[in-house]
């Protein structure tokens, strides 16, 4: 994953390099064989997407109590990423904010979070979780079923590809602005 960080270093061409890096990861992931390998690689790709989603979304000023508040990427439920997500965001900044990964076992633990991945382990509760998080400036992302009207980005497996769908209305309800570059991809 170090090559992802290398590709995103030059600010002038960062968006293009990010997209190239994502495409490379996707291509390399699905060219390898083995069921266990594919499972691990699926969440490497999703971790890279979460990191990049944070770069292409703007939060309202009230989402950050002060200028030193980090941008928090949270994982609710069983963590499928292992160290992948931590490795990708280590030392990275978005809009001059440090990136931090936090893990939650219940929605009640979520105090300060900006990007929330709801794990498949929460499939039976996604609607309830999303309803409890309404009126927050929170980019909710999941690969689980449910949460219609509140999940902003949903991962979908399309054959051998991982894609995502963006719910523009859910983003608007959360007072988030998603870059047109990301909207075109979703």
**Residue 44: domain span:** 2-185
Taking 70 as the threshold, does the pLDDT of residue 4 lie above it?
no
pTM of the model: 0.79
pLDDT tens per residue, range 145-185: 888 889 999 999 888 889 999 999 999 999 999 998 888 87
For residue 73, pLDDT beyond 80: yes
Any idea what the CATH number is for the domain that residue 89 is in?
A: 3.40.50
Q: What is the per-residue pLDDT for 3? A: 45
Range in 38-47, 50-59, 144-153 the model is least confident about: 38-47
Q: How far apart are CA 116 and CA 74, in angstroms?
A: 5
- Over its C-alpha atoms, the chain yields an Rg (Å, rounded) of 16
Output the 3-class SS for 29-80.
HHHCCCHHHHHHHHHHHHHHHHHHHHHCEECCHHHCCCCCCCEEEEEECCCC
Instruction: Name 111's Cβ contacts closer than 8 Å, sequence gap at least 6.
Output: none
In angstroms, rounded to a whole number, what is the distance separating the alpha carbons of residues 53 and 153? 9
The count of C-alpha atoms lying within 13 angstroms of the C-alpha of 158, restricted to the half-sphere facing its C-beta, is 10
Q: What integer pLDDT is reported at residue 148 of this predicted model?
A: 83
CA 47/CA 34 separation, integer angstroms: 20
Domain count for the chain, please give it: 1
Q: Which residue would you say has higher pLDDT here, 28 or 171?
A: 171
If you average pLDDT over residues 92-105, what whole number do you get? 95
3-class secondary structure per residue, the chain = CHHHHHHCCCHHHHHHHHHHHHHHHHHHHHHCCCHHHHHHHHHHHHHHHHHHHHHCEECCHHHCCCCCCCEEEEEECCCCCCCHHHHHHCCCEECCEEEEEEEECCHHHCCCCCEEEECHHHHHHHHHHHHHCCCCCCEEEECCCCCCCCCCEEEEEECCEEEEEECHHHHHHCCCEECHHHHHHC
């Amino acid at each position: 994953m170090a090559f992802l960080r290398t590709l995103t270093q030059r600010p002038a061409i960062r968006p293009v390099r990010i997209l190239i890096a994502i495409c490379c990861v996707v291509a390399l992931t699905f060219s390898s064989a083995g069921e266990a390998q594919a499972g691990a690689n699926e969440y490497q790709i999703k971790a890279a997407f979460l990191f990049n989603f944070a770069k292409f979304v703007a939060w309202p000023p009230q989402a950050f109590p002060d200028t030193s508040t980090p941008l928090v990427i949270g994982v609710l439920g069983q963590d499928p990423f292992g160290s992948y997500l931590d490795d990708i965001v280590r030392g990275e900044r978005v809009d001059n904010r440090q990136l931090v990964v936090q893990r939650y076992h219940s929605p009640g633990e979520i105090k300060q979070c900006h990007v929330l991945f709801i794990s498949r382990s929460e499939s039976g509760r996604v609607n309830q979780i999303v309803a409890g998080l309404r009126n927050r400036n929170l980019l909710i992302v999941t690969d689980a079923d449910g949460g219609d009207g509140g999940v902003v980005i949903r991962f979908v497996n399309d054959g051998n590809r991982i894609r995502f769908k963006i719910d523009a209305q859910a983003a608007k309800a959360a007072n988030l602005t998603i870059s047109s570059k990301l909207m075109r991809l979703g």
